[in-house]
Amino acid sequence: MNKQKRTEIFKRLKQINPNPTTELEYASAFELLIAVILSAQATDVGVNKATFRLFKVADTPQKMFDLGLETLKDYIKTIGLFNSKAKNVIKTCQILVEKHNSVVPDNRKDLEALPGVGRKTANVVLNTFFGQPTMAVDTHIFRVSKRTKLAHGKDVLQIEKSLVRLIPKEYLMDAHHWLILHGRYICKARKPNCKECIIEDLCEYNKKIL
């Protein structure tokens, strides 16, 4: 895909959604971090239902650590993999309190040192809260990138690096949100809704496999 096509794609995505953001609900860097940790292999809707109750009683690392493992599990038991996620959250809260004065780090190295925080989670926090032009590649973005030919790569890291390099700089800050929303609601995994796609004429997806 050439630069002109890529620019036009993001120009159109911006026109219909000028200020995209995550669908996770949060009020601080800490709440966003916890929500993203919980969102692995879970829906944002499901995470929001759990955190709506959780953040009312524990909106700081200390408060959440003080809940204890079993109580935390009770709050997030509706979320997939809640047992392992609860353990990671408790450990993360302890590290935030003891090493970071309860402040969420604004750099990749310290974020990825937290239990349950991988590159994708770190990228989401860095981009969404700290305003850094990172690209958190999930299954939706990976799929959209491959189908449209926006980027090439065998794995999420290759796709991430390709997108960061190829997306026009003026669109890079919000590109993560545009692509994930497009993949979630239009360019779906099993049956992409090409008829309602605003970039269908620019997409290089092979229509024969629809």
Please say if the pLDDT value at position 1 is more than 90.
no
pLDDT in tens, 115-166: 999 999 999 999 999 999 999 999 999 999 999 999 989 999 999 999 999 9
Reply yes or no on whether the pLDDT at 210 is more than 90.
Answer: no
Query: What is the model's pLDDT at position 75?
Result: 98
Q: Which of 118, 119, 130, 131 is nearest to 161 (CA)?
A: 119
- Range 12-37 average pLDDT: 97
Sign of the Cα torsion 25, 99, 84, 128 reads positive
Whether residue 209 has pLDDT greater than 50: no
pLDDT score of 208: 46
Q: List the chain domain ranges.
A: 3-20+135-209, 29-128
Q: Which of 73, 85, 138, 174 is catalytic?
A: 138
pLDDT over 50 at 45, yes or no: yes
Nearest to 32, CA basis, from 171, 130, 119, 101: 130
Inform me whether the pLDDT recorded for 19 exceeds 80.
Answer: yes
Compute CA distances 193 → 39, 66, 146, 185, 200, whole Å. Answer: 25, 46, 16, 8, 9
Q: Is the per-residue pLDDT at 207 higher than 70? A: no
Of 73, 85, 120, 174, the catalytic one is 120
Give the pLDDT confidence score for residue 171 in this predicted structure. Answer: 97
User: Is the distance from CB of 176 to CB of 135 less than 8 angstroms?
Assistant: yes
> Is 138 marked active-site?
yes
Does residue 128 contact residue 33 with C-beta atoms inside 8 Å?
no
Residue 200 has φ and ψ, to the nearest 5°, of -60, -40
Average the pLDDT over 185-204 and give the result: 93
At the topology level of CATH, where does 29-128 sit?
Endonuclease III; domain 1 (1.10.340)
Quote the pLDDT of residue 206.
58
Better pLDDT: 74 or 205: 74
DSSP string, 150-198: S---SSHHHHHHHHHHHS-HHHHHHHHHHHHHHHHHTS-SSS--GGG-T
Determine what percent of the chain is predicted with pLDDT higher than 70.
98
Give the mean pLDDT of the chain.
95
CATH C-level class of 3-20+135-209 = mainly alpha
